[in-house]
Amino acid sequence: MNIRIGILGYGNLGRGVECAIRQNPDMELAAVFTRRDPKSVDILTPDVPVCPISQVEEWKDKIDVMILCGGSATDLPKQTPMYAKLFNVVDSFDTHARIPEHFSNVDASAKEGGKLGIISVGWDPGMFSLNRMYANAILPDGNDYTFWGKGVSQGHSDAVRRIEGVKDARQYTIPIESALEAVRNGENPELTTREKHLRECFVVLEDGADAAKVEETIKTMPNYFADYDTTVHFISAEEMKANHSGIPHGGFVLRSGKTGWNGETNHLIEYSLKLESNPEFTASVIVAYARAAYRLSQEGQTGCRTVFDIAPAYLSLLSGEELRKTML
């Protein structure tokens, strides 16, 4: 029997999960749950019900893993602990500073419900975290570097959109190539915020807005832009739609480390992602971990896990024997 997946929250991430399920022959989409009017939600998979979130409890025995696709700011801190009592769950909680607290809430709930929860799954946190951890375990003496981009930052785009006179905006985070090269060359640079990333904004103005004032407001915005070299381009709504409607992202995790009796030997470990769609890739990672959640639960395991706690083989459709034969 296939692993029956539920999706709770149907935005870009929920749709990405729906697409990813289709690529995994051992899984099927059982139902989508939404806070909106279910009639207003068009999903892609034929013959799958879209249900109001109030009915979720009725699906307790008809869903093997519930994937929570809400936001980290307000949805997941409540939803993941709440639903971990009823379902095996996977979320993509990405507020790094609040992960310990979230872990402990989900752990308590999942244990109470006899369920298995995996939190903070995606690429950062997620695959980037894994690569930081493996690289640190292998090279204890070294330096870590993470660069993000080139990609759209939702938070920074929103910050620009809130400025008076701005109709629409898209912000790209761009790693600075010379800084990346210095790391790759083993120079172990100490990099300031400004030396690691550029910020590039594409802005559609409201009629009659003051472009110079908008640009000044962006470039001096504390936390978001003031510490970076920022460029601002004013474009038309048509150009925005034509050239900036995707949600690409990616980045680089590097560890530069030393081995040898006196640390005389240098090594570089680099992991990078180039993603045309941030939510679709995140969804693909989540779906692989949904397989792990199901299997761990089948073994009788309960409580909260992160990517650090899960043996890689649990993610794969292949058996241990097949993995050893084809991938080792």
Q: How does strand 3-8 pair with strand 27-34?
A: parallel
72 is in an annotated binding site: yes
**Closest approach of a second copy to the CB of residue 125, in Å:** 5
71 is in an annotated binding site: yes
Residue 280, class by beta-carbon neighbours within 10 Å (0-12 exposed, 13-18 middle, 19+ buried)?
middle
User: Of 199 and 305, which CB lies nearer to a second copy in the complex structure?
Assistant: 305
User: Of 78 and 96, which CB lies nearer to a second copy in the complex structure?
Assistant: 96
User: Of 35 and 98, which CB lies nearer to a second copy in the complex structure?
Assistant: 98
Q: How does strand 166-175 pair with strand 151-152?
A: antiparallel
**Closest approach of a second copy to the CB of residue 14, in Å:** 13
**Closest approach of a second copy to the CB of residue 21, in Å:** 11
**Closest approach of a second copy to the CB of residue 149, in Å:** 14
14 is in an annotated binding site: no
DSSP result, 224-275: TTTTSEEEEEE--HHHHHHHS--B-EEEEEEEEEEESTTS-EEEEEEEEEEE
The token pair that represents 298 in the structure block: 């089948």
Length of the chain in terms of residues written:
328
User: Of 57 and 276, which CB lies nearer to a second copy in the complex structure?
Assistant: 276
Footprint of a second copy (CB under 8 A):
16, 18-20, 22-24, 44, 96, 99-100, 103, 120, 125, 127, 129-134, 136-141, 184, 259-261, 265-277, 280-281, 283-285, 288, 291, 306-313, 315-317, 320-321, 323-325, 327-328
122 is in an annotated binding site: yes
255 is in an annotated binding site: no
User: Of 58 and 101, which CB lies nearer to a second copy in the complex structure?
Assistant: 101
Q: Is the dihedral of CA 91, 148, 16, 288 positive or negative?
A: negative
**Closest approach of a second copy to the CB of residue 306, in Å:** 6
Helix locations, 148-236, DSSP H: 154-161, 177-184, 193-196, 211-219
Phi and psi (nearest 5°) for 203?
A: -130, 135
**Closest approach of a second copy to the CB of residue 279, in Å:** 10
d(CA 47, CA 309): 36
**Largest Cα span, the chain:** 67
User: Of 96 and 233, which CB lies nearer to a second copy in the complex structure?
Assistant: 96
192 is in an annotated binding site: no
34 is in an annotated binding site: yes
Q: State the DSSP code for 126.
A: B
6 is in an annotated binding site: no
Give me the numbers of helices (H) and strands (E) for the chain, helices first please. Answer: 11, 14
Binding-site residues for NADP(+), in ranges, read: 10-13, 34-36, 69-72, 92-94, 121-125
Binding-site residues, in ranges, read: 10-13, 34-36, 69-72, 92-94, 121-125, 148, 173, 199, 249, 278
Binding-site residues for substrate, in ranges, read: 148, 173, 199, 249, 278
